[in-house]
Structure 1
Amino acid sequence: MDLLTPGWPPRWLTPVTDAELSASGGPDTADFIETFCRITKDSVAGSAGTLLELRGWQHKLLRFLLARRADRRYRHRQALIGVARKNGKSALGAGIALDGLRFGPQGGEVYSCAGDREQARIVFAAARRMVELDEHLSSCLKLYRDAIEHPESGSIYRVLSSESYTKEGLNPTLTLFDEVHVQANRELWDVMALAMGARSSPLMIGITTAGSRYDSSGRDSLCYSLYEYGKRVALGEVVDPSFFMAWWEPVNLDADHRDPATWREANPGFGDLVDAEDFASAVLRTPEAEFRIKRTNTWVSGTSTWLPAGAWDACADPSATIPDGSEVCLGFDGSFNGDSTALVVVSCAEIPHVDVVELWERPADGDGWRVPILDVEEAIREACRRWQVREIVCDPYRWARTYQVLEDEGLPVVEFPQSAARMTPATTRFYEAAVNRQLTQSGDARLARHIGNAVLKADSRGTRIYKEHKHSTRRIDLAVAAVMALERAVQTPVENPDVDFLAWDDL
């Protein structure tokens, strides 16, 4: 074991022979990166425009990754590199891609791939900026919006995503997969693996952080299945010289995620490329599951407890109220029968206050019970008479008629679909506010129960609150309504909104 290089070795490393390491192309690639590739943004690593300086662990990684056999062909055909966020993954990937474009085979095809086009462009954009910043690279490479060409060799570097309609006719020499954990399925990975079959020494590299173990179908995700396979190769249970994995994670996966020793194990660039003070700050305001995934590169099972024990109770202020006429946002989460229906109010104040307006919940013996829709609509109207309601924040699912009725009456209904794109940042914001006591709450036992019932679900689309399982009777509707309402209450109001507040005195 190499104890002299900080950050090396990773927790899991597949074996490579000394002879293959001696013949590795890693040193040549490292030399190219440090000679021509520049930092693209001011960061802890250095100022924009200065040449990249690879760390010792990155030199080791390239030597292992690009090991060569006696016939000079790459030992590996597929590789998975797992490391926590902000350890220089994008810059290293961009450097590898440009080296493969500039010094790869004639007619080479290099691809940046990801689950969506925006993600795929991250590594490519870094590479493009590196070309712009360096005189030599800009003189021999031609830039296009989604491609970089090396005219002398006829090689091309392109962006490709799962959203692309066709991947037919590809013949890749080098493929960089960014954030493999967000791949919805194996399709693009398998297509690229098959497409490179005609090349003599191709390489496909996935560079990622951990994520959820399961995909939306409940099966092992692509990234987790590769991780599990890589562990078996590293342990010698499977002999597969063509597969490489280097994965940084804590030795004890249950280690305290608040312990700096845990951070160091999962971050080879800790205290160097990544700032220790940033970790100390982030751990105070990030849900544990999300912190473990992104900061300690640890897989989560899919769900975990949402708020830390005691955090919600610490925000209780039963004496606090929201005075009549105050500016507020209402959060509404409704169903007809299976779940409860919740109406929550959050004040638009510097320290928001959260309270329950009403909860309609099916009783234990309530077979056939349905939410009293007219009562719900009247409760919303009454809340609008009592407070100055900036927005009635609601998911349009199943309640479109009610929302239309309220809109026709002039009430400020704002749709908030409970998609991952919306609920992930809203869940994080609510967590931060609760843990840092940047909100107060009424002490309502029903709201506390729903908050306590909520769990975090992490998958390829993000981290957000869910019921423990689909058919659970543990309700979370008040929690969902509170998350939506707080997200809107802390936003800066739009000037001259399309819908004015209703002047109830005129009715």
Structure 2
Amino acid sequence: MALGGNARAKFEDLSEPPWYRWKTKEPVKRAIRFIEAYCRSPKGHGYGKPLKLARFQKEWLAEILAPGVRQAVLQCPRGQGKSTLLAALAVWATFDRYEDGAPQVPVMAMTVGQAKRSVYDVAVAMIQAELELSRRSICYTAISDSRFVVGYNGGVCFPVSHDPDGLQGLDPGPIAVVDEIGFQPIESWSSMVLASGKRSRSVIVAIGTPGLDRDNALWHLREAWLDGKRPPGFSFTEYSAPEELAPYDEKTWRIACPALDAGYQSIDALRVAIETSPLSHFEIFHLGRWVDGTDCWLGPDGRTVWGALESDYQLAPKAPTWVGIDVGIKRDTTAVVYAQRRPDGMLHTVARIWQPTKDERIDLSSVMAFLRELDSHYDLQECAYDPRLFEIPGQMLADEGLPMVEFPQSLERMTPAYVSLYEAIVKGAISHDGNEQYARQILNAIPRPNERGFVLSKNKSRGKIDAAAALAMCHDRAQHPVKPLPKLVCL
């Protein structure tokens, strides 16, 4: 039964449903029994038949529905039945009975439309396919007020966007569903978490796949988990392929994708995907690996391109050295990249990066001290900097005898610098020491075309790129060394 948002209707059946009479009160047993008895697959493998949960899905449900769990995250590749599992979980949570009163089950995604397409509409299809569920509920289809309501317990399930302001007034329980957490900002996750906790049993459940960048709630929670920040009530489960395993090996696929052995993911689809997709995209979406640089200025396999330039070369004391300096604004980092010519002609580069604290900007005196240290170890040729943010420190260092050179980061100046740097990288004319923070800032950058070529920039979903700008300035000055002035001869 589908009705408009303002329609009035009666439930066809308000009697006590059969699952109310189940003897067990354990949530995980009730959830598994309910899903396998009343939730039918709306698409794909097993279409129209009651769901048969795989072993890994049952184990995850036992983990997240255990007493005391308040936040639960599952990271896994595509094709593992994420949306179907979340939809079935939402249906069970809305139809069962709880001591805290009427269930309220929000389904959150980037937009309301995405929440409907990915999980909510799947849940509605499950209800409509099972008479025992459809006659005890009403599905409202108003554009601005989609929801389904259960008559005998007052339960309601509805899609919501990730707008933090709209999440504040929720009272989710026994669960709230977050789809594709790999694309959700941490602010939205925090807002949902803060809205929960008003019931004796309320858990925020999220499933997602790694994305193309790391500025999202999934990466944040995963890093906290790996760093040992594991507060009581927080569950994190990951299915991914270990980094040391070959991505072309089908045994690797089965480690990352438990749905292959469960029988509802087709291995031939992966065989096609690995041959037709960039390798980095296959590793992210089908192996559950976090790979950066996938859509950066160095191409879809930017991580591989940059990684191939790693070298253990050591800079020689008192050898000619060029320096690029990029000073960040407020919360940006500050980067100094310095380089020397190797005997084979390659330019070997090293980066030093300063991170601002939450309360304080970077102290430029520490940057000045580092440049003085470089000057004492190497024969500095030029130290390129943008006078807009480093004018006074640059003048002070120049007065001390350091070869400071103004390098305004204008479109006219940076475009040829970035184009020349790109050509040097793809030709393998540059090497680096393998520093991960340095690599990440190079790979965070994306090209912004102009009539002369391109410059590098970042967007709000990416991290810092200050080292990329410093490298471009450093490389430019190394390519155009200043000829020494002729010595004056006294007659």
Q: TM-score, normalised by structure 2?
A: 0.55
Distance 1:369 1:57 in 2: 54
Tell me, in whole angstroms, the C-alpha distance in 2 between the residues paired with 1:450 and 1:278.
Answer: 34
SS at match of 1:197: coil
User: Is 1:212–1:460's contact at 8 Å kept on the other side of the alignment?
Assistant: no
User: Which stretches in structure 1 are left out of the alignment for 5+ residues?
Assistant: 1-21, 68-73, 216-220, 310-365, 372-445, 475-507
Give the CA RMSD over aligned residues. 3.7
2:254 to 237, 243, 264: 264
Shift, 1:190, TM fit: 1.4
Secondary structure in structure 2 of the residue aligned to 1:32: helix
Shift of 1:448: 8.6
**Distance change (3 Å), C-alpha of 1:200 and 1:447:** closer
Aligned equivalent of 2:177: 176
Alignment partners' CA distance in 1, 2:204 and 2:237: 14
**2:147 and 2:157 in contact (8 A); partners too:** yes
CA contact (8 A) 2:64 2:72 kept: yes
1:435-446 map, 5 Å: none
The alpha-carbon deviation at position 281 of structure 1 amounts to: 0.8
Match of 2:76 in 1: 83
After superposition, give the CA deviation of every residue in 1:183-210 in whole Å (9 maximum; x if it has no partner).
13x2221121111121111010111111
CA distance in structure 1 between the partners assigned to 2:33 and 2:184 by the alignment: 32
Structure 1 residues 20-59: aligned runs within 5 Å = 24-41=26-43, 43=44, 45-47=45-47, 49-59=48-58
Report if the CA contact (8 A) 2:224-2:230 is conserved.
no
Inter-partner Cα distance in structure 2 for 1:370 and 1:80: 44
The answer to whether the Cα contact below 8 Å between 2:139 and 2:148 also exists between their aligned partners in 1 is yes
Q: 1:290/1:239 Cα in 2 relative to 1: closer, same or farther (>3 Å)?
A: closer
Percent sequence identity over matched residues?
A: 24
What is aligned with 1:278? 269
Out of 87, 90, 105, the residue aligned to residue 94 of structure 1 is: 87
Equivalent-residue separation in structure 2 for 1:447 and 1:470 (angstroms) = 12
Checking the alignment, whether the CA contact within 8 Å between 1:181 and 1:460 is kept in structure 2 is no
Partner of 2:243, secondary structure, is coil
Contact persistence 1:306–1:455 (CA under 8 A): no
For 1:283, what is the secondary structure of its paired residue? helix
Corresponding pairs, count? 305
User: Residues 200-257 of structure 1, C-alpha deviation per residue, up to 9 Å, x if partnerless?
Assistant: 1101011111124532xxxxx321121123335xxxx45533011111112x324222
Alignment of 1:94-113 (within 5 A): 94-105=87-98, 106-113=101-108
Q: How does 1:95-174 map to 2 (within 5 A)?
A: 95-105=88-98, 106-121=101-116, 122-145=118-141, 146-163=146-163, 166-173=166-173, 174=175
Whether the 8 Å contact between 1:182 and 1:460 is mirrored in structure 2 is no
Distance (Å, rounded) in 2 between the aligned partners of 1:164 and 1:75 = 25
Which of 281, 295, 302 aligns to 2:286? It is 295
Superposed counterparts of 1:246-261, under 5 Å = 246-250=237-241, 252-261=242-251
CA distance in 2, matches of 1:460, 1:368: 18
Question: Which is greater in Rg?
Answer: 2
Take 1:472 and 1:301, find their aligned partners in 2: how far apart are those partners? Answer: 19
Verify: 1:226 aligned to 2:221, yes or no.
yes
Task: State the distance in 2 between where 1:228 and 1:163 align.
Answer: 24
- 8 Å CA contact 2:104, 2:156 repeated in 1: yes
Contact 2:164 2:187 in 1 (8 A): no
What pairs with 1:311-460 in structure 2 (closer than 5 Å)? Answer: none
One-letter code of the match for 1:37?
A: C
Contact 1:115–1:180 (CA<8 Å) still a contact in 2?
no
For each residue in 1:444-473, what CA deviation from the matched residue of structure 2 results, as whole angstroms up to 9, or x when unmatched?
Answer: xx999898799797999999xx99946765
Match of 1:411 in 2: none
Amino acid at match of 1:27: K
Between the aligned partners of 2:258 and 2:250, the Cα distance in structure 1 is: 13
Verify the 8 A CA contact 2:293 2:443 in the aligned structure 1.
no
| In 2, Cα distance between equivalents of 1:79 and 1:55 | 18
Shift of 1:367: 9.7
Deviation at 1:24, TM superposition (A): 4.7
Relative to structure 1, the CA distance from residue 298 to residue 192 in structure 2 (aligned partners, 3 Å threshold; closer, same or farther) is: same
> Hey, what's the Cα distance between the residues in 1 that align with 2:470 and 2:148?
51
- Answer yes or no: is the 8 Å Cα contact 2:38–2:130 preserved in 1: yes
